[in-house]
Amino acid sequence: YGGALKAAILIQQWFRRYMARLEIRRRYTWSIFQSIEYAGEQDQLQVSSIVLLFFTVLSLPDLISHVLDPNNDFMNEEAKLAKYEKIEVPDSYAGPRLSFPLTVVHTNALLSGFKQQQTLHPRYVLQLLHETKKFLKHMPNIIHLSTTYTRQITVCGDLHGKLDDLLLIFYKNGLPSDENPYLFNGDFVDRGKKSMEIIIILFAFLLVYPNNMHLNRGNHEDYIMNLRYGFTKEVMQKYKTHGREILQLLQDVFSFLPIATIIDNKVLIVHGGISDFTDLDVLASIERHKFKSALRLPKLNTDDSPDKGKKRVQFFSQCIGVGGLNKIQTTFQSNGFLPSSNNCSSFHTKQCKPCYSKEKDVMTTGDEHHPPSQTLFNPSAILEVPFLDSGINFVAEEPIREELEWKQIVDLLWSDPKNQNGCIPNSFRGGGCYFGPDVTLRLLKKYNLQLLIRSHECKQDGYELCHDGKVITIFSASNYYEEGSNRGAYIKLGPDLVPRFFQYQVSKYTRRLTIQQSVTAAEGSALKSLREKLYAHKTDLIAAFKDCDKNNTGRISTSDWASAVESVLHLDLPWRTLRSRLVKLGPDGNVDYLSCFEDLQIERSIKEVTPCLMETLYRYRTDLEIIFNIIDKDHSGLISIEEFRQTWKLFSSHLHIPIDDEAIDDLARSIDYNKDGSIDFNEFLEAFRVVHKLDSKEN
């Protein structure tokens, strides 16, 4: 038996090494996906500041009122409903038909129709959203549920437009009913392609079972987030004629969603998390619908006093740091977007008292005929990224209640738990905070709670426990990053309040992938995204590499390479481990640092664009697309050359991108292919798509 035993031991050792290598690959793949996702959220917070500055400062007419801000629509609710009812549904329409009040027959029709890839007619969408808004208006900020009347409550996390996951949950766990209550904990939309179908189903069940279907708001139930992560685009593609109406109504619906739920007075459920400022009594009393976006400060009312306006500016200045406000103002003055400080030395002087125009969401100085260049800069209408960071030490000046309430909501929607005690700004996401076990225990003790359930973070197993089991993260979108990247999960809570976890994974394959196949597929996708990230910062990376390459050999040590990459990308990844997958080694064992760009190229170049500008446009293409989609009111894909110039001028100024104005003019003229003064922006974006040359050869 000696030989057989030795063979068994060798096989066991080999298998353990094999599984260990797979686990290393799985972990760094996960780190890549998560780091790039959070970096994108930081970019979103930055570009949201630019978007709001863009419209506030340039006073572009008829844009925010139609796309970003529905407050100027004064039509009453009855008139709106009558308008929706007049929308004709043709006889040729073969999709689900709704009549109100809804019944189980209608929810079954919706489920069946969406399984057959049907789209609900815009008339029914608008009517459904109208009824949902009317219902949510009467809901409290914090819902209180009890397991006394039902044996169990099912809690689901992020779905992010993945309809197949929702349908699988219903298949495994049963449809919502009086005997089978559900709570969905936010982030129903964005990223996935079926966000509209998901919210239609959820809202329909909400109306049919108002006491047993419950929805919390997530950080993606936010119109500014939707601009970047796909939901706005999805709505406009599916409902071209009525898309804008649907989006405006959705802003209201999202703002009326409850922000927290408490089960049996013992389990608190919020989307993101908490901070050391979280006060459930304050959260229960605020007017939540005022906060259309967690990425935007509440508006200053037209009748606010000068002193209140001054306090808002002081509060804003404290939150963005010393000199931050002056830096932004100076940037815009130097580029001709604002009058010099000599023209308006104070925000609270009589001639500079801020007020809002009733016709469009822009600041004026009281003179209706001021040209855009004379529009007063309104710091209270914009958001600088550091403002979302928690843990700020406020000075004695009392902030306005609205700002404090807003900060409470930001922390609730954006925060993440950490293992270390304390509460610090969530610099990785760029918003909310990291809260430690001590913060969790204080809040649970203060309100006599046992458990905090939250979502907001993708977990490989669909759920995760931390803070000694006092905090549970639940995430219901399987394959979030890539096929096989993670499972989805949901929780069932009974009267004993012991959470029971149920996992699943949607698969497009009839045969389940092996662990090796799953890891390899996810790893390939992650490395592809990471290489594109490297390419987008090529100039900065090469400069950092050359600082380490004093003799211009083209090679540096692995340690220097890893440090240089991290100093530019700030992704906090295990670069030494990833080195073999990203770059080649020279004969001397050092890294050939230019090899990390060998497999990448811009698919189609424009001769008028310099390599530096090409790289910059590629890096910020998503941010530019957000702004251009706002400018493109009819979603034709065309914008004027002048709008292109103004957008880029402001964009480059705010991000301190040293691009010559003449280069932008040359670019604008070169992509106006038919010389009609308009730019096809979709074609423009396609000109800056990175291609992986090895992939092209394989195909």
Residues 338 and 403: their CA atoms lie apart, in Å, by 25
Strands (E), 451-511: 451-454, 463-466, 471-474, 488-493, 500-504
CB 251 within 8 A of CB 235: no
CB 295 within 8 A of CB 228: no
Select from 380, 353, 378, 350 the least CA-distant residue to 365.
353
CB 66 within 8 A of CB 244: yes
Helices (H), 461-602: 515-536, 538-548, 558-569, 575-582
CA distance readout (Å), 122 to 69, 243, 247, 422: 21, 8, 12, 48
- Which residue out of 214, 220, 271, 654 is catalytically annotated? 220
Nearest 5 degrees, angle CA 585-CA 590-CA 595?
45
Give the three-class secondary structure for 43: helix
Angle between the N-to-C axes of helices 515-536 and 2-58, in degrees from 0 to 180, rounded to the nearest 10? 40
CB 540 within 8 A of CB 568: yes
The verdict on whether 220 is a catalytic residue reads yes
CA distance readout (Å), 408 to 260, 282, 284, 299: 12, 8, 11, 16
Residues 354 and 301: their CA atoms lie apart, in Å, by 9
Angle between the N-to-C axes of helices 515-536 and 538-548, in degrees from 0 to 180, rounded to the nearest 10? 80
Residues 304 and 299: their CA atoms lie apart, in Å, by 10
Residues 291 and 281: their CA atoms lie apart, in Å, by 18
> Can you count the helices (H) and strands (E) in the chain?
24, 23
Give the three-class secondary structure for 153: strand
Tell me, rounded to whole angstroms, the distance of Cα 344 from its chain centroid. Answer: 36
End-to-end CA distance of the chain: 52
Select from 409, 369, 135 the least CA-distant residue to 279.
409
Burial class (CB in 10 A: 0-12, 13-18, 19+), 78: exposed
Give the three-class secondary structure for 460: coil
Phi first, then psi: give them for residue 463, nearest 5 degrees.
-155, 165
Which residue is listed with tokens 């979103």? Answer: 44
- Amino acid letter at 684? F
Which DSSP letter does residue 301 get? P
Residues 681 and 233: their CA atoms lie apart, in Å, by 14
Residues 373 and 376: their CA atoms lie apart, in Å, by 8
697, β-bridge pairs: none
Look at the alpha carbons of 444, 265, 199, 175 in this order and tell me if their dihedral is positive or negative.
positive
Select from 573, 563, 588, 559 the least CA-distant residue to 531.
573
Active site residues: 220
